[in-house]
Amino acid sequence: MDLNLFNRPEENRLLEAAWTALASVYAPYSGIRVGAAVLTGSGQIYTGCNIENSSYSLTICAERCSIYHALAHGEKSFTVMVVVTDSEQVTSPCGACRQVLAEFAPQMPVLFVNPKGVSRFTVEQLLPHLFLLD
Ligand code: THU
């Protein structure tokens, strides 16, 4: 895969980090591999990957894994996330991930890359009329 898809250097750095995170995927049940990388307001990159479980619903997606990784390091603001998969079947973040991303970064752009191409939406665009408590 071309890892220089974007015009912005930081987005290409995220794509490379997300691609590297594919090496850590644990997906013996679906065989689907997803990597994610999020850039924080402090300039750090945190990666995540999907990690499945024999109790299927305990699976965590790459997107939530990466933002929880960042949150666990005390990060509070998020600038942009890049998600990559080598599966043509996966084209956009799942509903659970949209809700979690909305909690922390409703304005954040999410760049989703699969072998067919790239999509770019903010979390608010992915989850309109989102549910949040004050
Ligand atoms: N998955 C992700 O990691 N991110 C997505 O955006 C969609 C789906 C994972 C979860 C599971 O391990 C596999 O893909 C199939 O659903």
pLDDT of residue 1: 86
Pick the CATH number of 9-126 from 3.20.20.70, 3.40.140.10, 1.10.10.60, 3.30.1330.10: 3.40.140.10
Q: How far apart are the first and last CA of the chain?
A: 42
Q: Is the pLDDT of residue 94 over 90?
A: yes
| 0.95 surpassed by pTM | yes
Q: Of the residues 63, 88, 103, 124, which is catalytic?
A: 63
Mark out the alpha helices in 22-109 (DSSP H runs): 62-72, 95-104
Q: Is the pLDDT of residue 134 over 90?
A: no
Cα 132 to averaged position of ligand 1 atoms, centre (Å): 24
d(CA 47, CA 68): 10
75 included as an active-site residue: no
pLDDT single digits (tens) 41-90 = 999 999 999 999 999 999 999 999 999 999 999 999 999 999 999 999 99
The closest residue, in CA terms, to atom 10 on ligand 1 is: 61
| The dihedral formed by the CA atoms of 59, 4, 92 and 71, expressed in degrees to the nearest 10 | 50
Query: For ligand 1, what atom is nearest to the CA of residue 92?
Result: 6
Report the chain's mean pLDDT, rounded to a whole number. Answer: 97
Cα 79 to averaged position of ligand 1 atoms, centre (Å): 22
Pocket of ligand 1 (CB under 6 A): 27, 30, 32, 34, 50, 52, 59, 61-63, 90, 93-94, 97
The beta-strand segments (E) located in 1-134 are: 34-40, 45-49, 78-85, 109-114, 117-122
Average pLDDT over residues 104-124: 97
Q: How many other CB atoms sit within 10 Å of the CB of residue 65?
A: 22
